Amino acid sequence: MASTFEVQDISFSYEAIPAIRGLTLHIGEGDRVALLGANGSGKSTLLRILDALYFPSAGTVTFKGEALTEKHLQEEEFSLNFRRRVALVFQNPDVQLFNPTVFDEIAYGPLQLQWGKEDVIRRVDETLEFMSISHLRDRPPYRLSGGEKKRVALASVLVLDPEVLLLDEPTATLDPKSQSQVVDLIQQWKGTARTVITATHQLEIVEDIADRVFVLEAGTVIAEGTPAEILSNTDLLLRANLIHAHRHSHGGVVHSHPHLHGHSRHEHEH
Amino acid sequence: MSRHSFLESTLQGFTRAVAKALQSEHAASQPGLLQQLDPRVRVIGTFALVVSVILCRRLEAIAAILLVAIAIAVASRVSLAALAKRVWLVILGFTGVIALPALFITPGEPLFTSPALHLSISAQGVRTAVLLVLRVETAATLTTVLVLSTAWTHILKALRSLHLPAEIVTMLAMTHRYVFLLIETANQMFESRKSRTVGVLSGAERRRMTARTAGVLLSKSIELSQEVYLAMLSRGFRGEVRLLTDFRLKPRDYVGLTAFLFTGCLAVWMGR
């Protein structure tokens, strides 16, 4: 399979605090990948490195065979081409929504990438309709609800029709209906050439959004496999802090077992 | 001031700030004199009048420009009440404090003398103080009318097309873009504080709370500015302001520009 990203032994620190340590992974064209990990495991940092917003202090990252370096990103042609093909949806939609209206927000990316004005208007209208947010067209983004902001943030990158979509906790803080809409959207891209890399710690959506899973801990990959392989490995999930030991009592006898959040009801043997 | 009045008045302040911003956006979209002109003409015209205010040495000439600014505000549907509250009273307070010593230290013909306090106010002192206050009031009125009658994105694009460095335009864009986020964050912090406050806050506690909030907001603002900038970069931002609107000069823009420049030059000539 043709390579989209080749990440080779990279490291990255926030001043003196290491966030990524000797991380290596390969992501192919059309892959639907989940980056699983607890808070602080390096998922968001890795997405920013893949989006060429941060550059590793050691190791290499390539996109379609071309090195992602600060110098390379300063070249206008490469930068415009890369930003057109790779898009990131931030965890906090507020940082991504900074234009006066929803329409301007969605038009922002295409305008920066110097599309023709008629194309911009047509694509923005299509995207508004596709995301069912046409009624928000002239509203200021900072006055929207959390779910609406997330949809507008998604629309603002989908308008570019990117080959690679990087999603940072796309369903976090969403109500169940909005969560399922986002998951449905990602599922639509199954079997297409679009590569989707989703950082999440919500195990219940992993099988729906990914065919391959990388488990991250302390800035490095500790496991890789299919969703079924990873989700059935209780020891691994416990180690990565994705599930926890749940203690409770039955008839005065206290016992514990691994516990997964996200399901309203579960059963286990005693 | 009671616990509720302090917290609630702060929360109401945040709501008012957002409401004012919305009012500004509304005024900018209204049909009016300035709104009909190309944003570049508005920026150059305002700049020319501000420069003429600085160069004028006669009170009458500056007062005439202030009247012109008020006439432009009315014709551009900018509320005079908003101008009075946002500009005239605030400037009077701040600049008045700075201008006050000039009343007493400027030598000249005494208008009023207090032998008990060993102070005297000179006619030249009064003139200097009034000149300073009037100059600042007029310049601030002109720039506020520009900001209230022009979409912020259009001002930025106009500044960029007038060759203001991309770095400065980026800083202005960032400031505007996350100021609402900061207001919202501050609002949430005060709401959270309100929900956990029992009893009456002392004056010292209120000051500590305000200082702590300011400190946390400063840290958050740095973090937010970095995040917002990354989000802009991720969508292709390279320092240029690009909008769907194209700026094209029409005959009325040339008339407007000529009127601005003529008024500025006339004021400088009369006020020399």
Please give the torsion angle defined by the CA atoms of residues B226, B229, B234 and B239, in that order, rounded to the nearest 10 degrees.
-140
Q: What is the pLDDT of residue A106?
A: 94
Shortest distance, CA B37 to any CA of chain A (angstroms): 21
Residues B119, B208, single domain; the answer is: no
In a domain, B35, yes or no: no
Number of independent structural domains in chain A: 1
In a domain, B109, yes or no: yes
In a domain, A251, yes or no: yes
Shortest distance, CA B56 to any CA of chain A (angstroms): 38
Q: Which of B22, B178, B230 sits opposite A53 (nearest CB)?
A: B230
In a domain, A33, yes or no: yes
Q: What is the pLDDT of residue A85?
A: 94
Whether residue B88 lies within 8 A of chain A, CB to CB, comes out as no
Nearest to A2 by CA among A32, A28, A24: A28
Can you give the residue range of the structural domain that contains B10? 1-28+151-241
pLDDT bucket at B118, cuts 50 / 70 / 90 = confident
A interface test, pick of B20, B160, B178, B244 with most A CB neighbours within 10 Å: B244
Comparison of pLDDT for B172 and A228, the residue scoring more: A228
Number of independent structural domains in chain B: 2
Q: What is the pLDDT of residue B229?
A: 86
pLDDT, tens digit (0-9, with 9 covering 90-100), for A85-108: 999 999 988 888 877 789 989 999
How many angstroms separate the CA atoms of B176 and A14, rounded?
27
Q: What is the pLDDT of residue B224?
A: 79
Residues B181, B230, single domain; the answer is: yes
* Cα three-residue angle B35-B50-B162, rounded to 5 degrees: 60
In a domain, B230, yes or no: yes
Q: Which of B228, B238, B242 sits opposite A95 (nearest CB)?
A: B228
pLDDT, tens digit (0-9, with 9 covering 90-100), for A207-255: 999 999 999 999 999 999 999 999 998 888 888 888 766 666 666 666 6
Helix ranges restricted to H, chain A: 43-50, 70-73, 76-85, 93-96, 102-112, 117-130, 146-158, 176-188, 206-209, 227-231, 234-239
- pTM here is 0.70
In a domain, B256, yes or no: yes
In a domain, B105, yes or no: yes
In a domain, B33, yes or no: no
How many angstroms separate the CA atoms of B144 and B90, rounded?
13
pLDDT bucket at B150, cuts 50 / 70 / 90 = confident
CATH number of the domain where residue A122 is located: 3.40.50.300
Query: What is the pLDDT averaged over residues A166-186?
Result: 85
Comparison of pLDDT for B208 and B258, the residue scoring more: B258
CA atoms within 13 A on the CB side of A130: 19
8 Å CB contact of A100 and B153: yes
Interface pTM, i.e. ipTM: 0.83
Residues B142, B155, single domain; the answer is: no
- Nearest residue of chain B to residue A101 (CA atoms): B25
Q: What is the pLDDT of residue B8?
A: 64
pLDDT, tens digit (0-9, with 9 covering 90-100), for A12-30: 999 889 999 999 999 999 9
Radius of gyration of chain A (CA): 20
Query: What is the pLDDT averaged over residues A171-178?
Result: 80
